[in-house]
Chains A and B, each alone.
Chain A
Amino acid sequence: MTTTVADPAEVVRPPAPRREVAKAWVRDRGVYVALGLLVLYNVATSEGFLSRANINLNLIQVAVTLIVSLGMAMVIGTEGIDLSVGATMAIAAVLMPDYMGYGLPVAILVAVAAGAVVGLINGLLIAVVGVQPIVATLIMLVTGRAMANVYSNGQLTEIFDPALRTLGTGSTLGVPNTALVALLLTAVVGVVVRRTTFGRRLVAIGGNLEASTLAGLPVRRTLITVYVVSGLLAAIAGVLYTARTGAANPGQIGDLIELAAITAVVVGGTPLSGGRVRILATVAGALLLQIVFATLTRNNVDAGYARIFQAAIIVGAVYLQRDRTAS
């Protein structure tokens, strides 16, 4: 491909002091470096880290967070946020036992459709009514979880289904099935973001809403779709979690997963101010988070401290992303 390349002296670049350049580098690639270092540390200090059992355990655990993070990355790309993902997982989970009688595919379909409906409500509130994303999805966080609890009387319901069990805990060619689903969804979302008009539009809208409107982009439709996709992905995560644990547990499923997903996205270098979606870096962010927790657990660090540590990671990542146009 040929391009017009101007005389470098004529190209106006914004001044970028050395510190800013270093910061930008850390922001864009830091997640991979951190992930690499953490893996090296674990390989050096823990004998069993590279064992198949341990790798699979980590993959199974990360799959749910990762799938939710994919939707979150797209939502954040539009300068939005989706706090309702955990509640969506709960709604998907409590619906499943009641529809298992029609067969597993129907149960999954109903669960996933419910996720899409939650996303649709979010999208309508945000794009049509004009409620701020944080408020709209906070409403769904509270009411969605409440609805799941009311629907199930707050009871844990066990599901005994061999196919569901295979989906949640089985492997294909030695790779856990849940990890395969996560991989497949990552590939699909990656293609959607990079190669489709929908993907281009969502980053444009996140980058400059007013300009996107005046460029004739279907802003409402795109925003609604983004939240529907996020709801769909959260519901799939809910199905996988239910499959893994063999029970629908409305109180516990997806608890604080919005925090984990936002962390994965932000640590991956996607700015909260929108206009950018980094799928591969989000995957790295989710893996990093997973291994951090695994490492802390292995060293007998209390779960409460692990949360505090997670918060510190977010602070660091957000610091690196502060708007550079402050001056």
Chain B
Amino acid sequence: MDEPTVVIDVRQVSKRFLGVVALDQVSLQLRAGEVHALIGENGAGKSTLIKLITGVYQADDGEVVYLGNPVRFAQPRDAQAAGISTIYQEINLIPQVSVARNLFLGREPTGRGGLIDLPRMNREATEVVKRYGVDVDVRRPLRELATGIQQMVAIARAVESDAKVVIMDEPTSSLEPREVDQLFAVIDQLRQRGVAVLYVSHKLAEVFRICDRVTVLRDGRRVHTGPVKDMTRLSLIATMLGRDVADVSAHGTTSFSEEHDLGDRAPVLRASGLTRAHLLHGVAVDVRPGEVVGLAGLLGSGRSETAKAIFGAQPLDAGEVHVDGKQLHLGRPAAAIEAGVALLPEDRKAEGIIPGLSVRENIALAALPRMSRGGFVAQKQIDGVVDTFMKRLRIKASSPDQKVGELSGGNQQKVLLARLLCLNPKVLILDEPTRGIDVGAKAEVQALIDELAGNGLAVLLISSELSEVVEGSDSVVVLRDGAALGTLRGKDISEDRIMGMIAEAASDTRTAHA
């Protein structure tokens, strides 16, 4: 077999920021027609490496050779023009304009007089998105569509622009399993066309499913490159963490323990009849102290809406929430917090952290009324509480004064958890607590959820990773199209059962409509 063509050859690049080494002599060869996984914990240097390749940063040492020539892209646009497309984790599109316009931005088909040929653009856009399994009116503004669909549009845009290299940074973080299948089909096509794909992901299952080779970074150094088939899940995790295989296998890959012993305690949270036109149709959830109840369902099934409704951040047409037997005044997060309910929002950046404020102020934010006297903040008390939680949750920051925006995703998530725990809640609603955080932090968060439930907290857990819901929950409420399909308990909880229930309900509705 011929030696495959090397499209991008990264040779011994180093990058320092203010004296801190972000990348230390890292090399990476990306071949035509391969899907190459780039993995590592947060802060390992993955994004720095991508940004060096795409011209966001310039290397201090070493060089990047593209199609046989050393290159130094001054800005991302130059890399794009040369055929290197990047799909970022955060969607880089224009929400106000139509799907079609987003797809063809900067390369719109023009007709007579140099004007945009709108009918043609819309026609072609419809064909393109269909290939990605998206069936929408391409004239609709992007922001009206679900996040998953937006992500598919971003991917379609990057791939359709005749790229020789496609870099994907956590492309599946907002995709449903079905959409992930579609994405992987697209990646397969790319492979056959000889496109080189650099695939960055925290999800190891995806690495094994779609990638040919894998490069592991740790602390800014390359620690491994080789075929994926030579690795096991365990050896990969061990390489990422720099630990022994035996050590990792002893602790498992998720950090949940067995079910919690509940006895026959009465539910501390009772939500019933949660109804909102087009979103929720009479959802009911009970959670007992010490119990972890999972909410399972596809994107748009009403998981986050249920969570927000209980917390008072989602307007309702009808419904009741009782905490400790007392009815909650709906529609007011402050009332929910007062009653002992705390919510970890789904979107950490947009709904959670206040990036410009310090770790200390972010943690103390919600509990300010309890940590103040006569409107003045009790600084000593806050310092004590912040110190306790930073130690307990092992929040890695240079000091409590460091801005939260500067922390890694996992540490930001821990800051938010600390903010909730300051409130001393009875009910904890966690919407995607481990999304987009590295393996190490993920295990810590999972162990923490377990510990909190063990201490008698009622936990409502939402995750798009089915394995997390299955392994972490004592019972699971399955949602579809804003309605609860049923509850699974104990031994009945499995990924297959959940998928089965969702699929069954789908065929039910179809017969009902027929």
Residues of A within 8 A of B (CB): 1-17, 21, 195-198, 200-201, 203-204, 207-208, 210-218, 275-276, 327
Contact = CB atoms under 8 A, between A and B. Distances in A.
Contact of A208 (B56, B354, B390): B354
B26 to A, nearest CB: 15
Contact of A3 (B22, B390, B408): B390
Nearest to A2: B387
A12 B357 contact: no
Interface in B318-360: 333-334, 336-337, 343, 345, 350-357
A30 to B, nearest CB: 19
Contacts of A4: 387, 390-391, 394-397, 400
A277 to B, nearest CB: 11
B368 interface: yes
Contact of A213 (B56, B333, B357, B407): B333
Q: Which of B364, B375, B379 has the most CB of A within 10 A?
A: B375
18 contacts: A3-B400, A14-B405, A16-B17, A195-B379, A197-B369, A200-B361, A200-B365, A200-B377, A203-B357, A204-B357, A204-B361, A210-B351, A211-B345, A211-B352, A211-B354, A214-B311, A214-B352, A217-B365
Contact of B57 (A6, A13, A15, A215): A15
A309 B333 CA distance: 48
A213 B350 CA distance: 11
Given A200-B365, A212-B354, A14 B406 contact: yes
A197 B334 contact: no
Contact of B48 (A15, A198, A275): A15
Given A201-B368, A327-B56, A13 B419 contact: no
Nearest to A7: B396
A314 B387 CA distance: 40
B333 A16 contact: no
Contact of B406 (A13, A201, A208): A13
Q: Which of B219, B357, B375 has the most CB of A within 10 A?
A: B357
Given A2-B387, A197-B377, A215-B366, A8 B313 contact: no
B17 A207 contact: no
Contacts of B372: 196-197
A200 B372 CA distance: 11
Contact of A214 (B20, B333, B356, B411): B333
B419 A215 contact: yes
Nearest to B364: A200
A142 B327 CA distance: 47
B354 A275 contact: yes
Contacts of A16: 17-18
A214 to B, nearest CB: 5
Nearest to B22: A15
A156 to B, nearest CB: 41
Q: Which of B219, B368, B406, B411 has the most CB of A within 10 A?
A: B368
Contacts of A3: 387, 390, 399-400
A214 B18 contact: no
In the A-B complex, the 7 residue pairs with the smallest Cβ-Cβ separation, listed nearest first, are: A207-B354, A6-B396, A12-B408, A275-B356, A216-B337, A4-B390, A215-B366
A210 B18 CA distance: 33
Given A11-B396, A214-B333, A215-B419, 6 more contacts: A4-B390, A7-B396, A204-B354, A207-B354, A207-B355, A216-B336
Q: Is the interface of A mostly helix, strand, loop or mixed?
A: loop
A40 to B, nearest CB: 32
Interface string B421-451: 0000000000000000000000000000000
A161 B126 CA distance: 77
User: How big is the B interface, by class?
Assistant: 35 or more
A192 B45 CA distance: 42
B368 A197 contact: yes
A1 B387 contact: yes
Contacts of A7: 396
Contact of A12 (B375, B387, B406): B406
Contact of B376 (A196, A207, A214): A196
B43 interface: yes
B406 A5 contact: no
B42 interface: yes
B127 interface: no
Nearest to A21: B18
Given A2-B387, A195-B377, A211-B352, A11 B397 contact: yes
A101 to B, nearest CB: 37
A198 B376 CA distance: 8
Contact of B219 (A9, A196, A207, A217): A9
A177 to B, nearest CB: 29
Q: Which of A6, A7, A8, A197 has the most CB of B within 10 A?
A: A197
A11 to B, nearest CB: 5
Given A197-B375, A207-B357, A216 B398 contact: no
Contacts of B396: 4, 6-7, 10-12
Nearest to A1: B383
Nearest to A201: B368
Nearest to B398: A11
Q: Which of B48, B364, B365, B406 has the most CB of A within 10 A?
A: B365
B43 A10 contact: yes
Nearest to B366: A215
Nearest to A198: B375
B92 to A, nearest CB: 12
A211 B334 contact: no
Contacts of B43: 10, 12
B336 to A, nearest CB: 7
Contacts of B357: 203-204, 207, 275
B8 to A, nearest CB: 21
Contacts of A213: 313, 333
A204 B419 CA distance: 13
B432 to A, nearest CB: 14
Contact of A211 (B311, B351, B383, B411): B351
Contacts of B391: 4
A5 B401 CA distance: 11
Given A6-B397, A204-B365, A215-B365, A196 B377 contact: yes
A17 B368 CA distance: 36
Nearest to A274: B356
A113 B354 CA distance: 34
A8 B398 contact: yes
A1 B401 CA distance: 12
A79 B408 CA distance: 26
A200 B368 contact: yes
Contacts of B387: 1-4
Contacts of A217: 334, 365-366
Contacts of B334: 216-218
B398 to A, nearest CB: 5
B489 to A, nearest CB: 30
A3 B360 CA distance: 11
Contact of A8 (B20, B57, B361): B20
A211 B369 CA distance: 17
B423 to A, nearest CB: 8
